[in-house]
Amino acid sequence: MAHKVYISFKTEDADYKNAIQALENIDYIDRSLNQPVNSNDDDYIMQVIRSDYLSSSTVTIFLIGQHSAESLGAYEQRFIKRELQASLYDGAGNSKSGILGIVLPGFESNVYSGKYSCSACGGTHNSVSIGDSTVVSEFSYNYYIPNNKCAHSESDRYCVLTSWDKFIADPGLWIERAYAKRSDPIAAKTRVRPS
């Protein structure tokens, strides 16, 4: 089954967006914005993106690199934030999309930092740094949805996360995982505009 994919990216990471669009033999229909909307009105730009691109997409790929952090400021991240907000919105004219975060080469060590021993449960967990210093809050909240547990399992997360190398090895698998989250129970716990 083909999924309609929208790629949310910073201009500095356009080469990775282009590499995804050039992939052959994967089952997806690209709905990405390749040419900027010709306007200086932020609200109009986002209305066009929502109605012409995001309303018919089913999975949003968010490229995570050195330019994707919330800590860079609301103005700097305004388009990425609105694209993810529109992807998470489930309402008239727009159904919720699955969200797939892809950690770009050279940024993996900022996100993946090995394992740690948990003082709460005594177990070992993977250390994954998804927060304001790596991604926008729309992704981090919906990756680490509050659950009063010491760790998050796959079923506790709405957003799916992988590295560039793993994605390139099997893009269809990762797109399908993100798509499947739309019907998981965790989808009811997402937040469009986390505080």
What residue ranges do the domains of the chain occupy? 3-189
Tell me the two tokens of residue 97. 């999309």
Calculate what percentage of the chain has a pLDDT beyond 90. 59
Are 63 and 13 in contact by the 8 Å Cβ rule? The answer is yes
Does 23 score more than 80 pLDDT?
yes
Residue-wise pLDDT for 118-143, tens only, equals 998 999 999 999 999 999 999 999 99
- CATH for 3-189? 3.40.50
Q: 26 or 74: whose pLDDT is higher?
A: 74
- Residue 59, pLDDT > 90, answer yes
**Residue 39 pLDDT > 90:** no
pLDDT of residue 32: 66
Task: Please tell me the predicted confidence (pLDDT) of residue 31.
Answer: 64
Would the pLDDT of 94 be above 80?
A: no
pLDDT, greater one: 57 or 173: 173
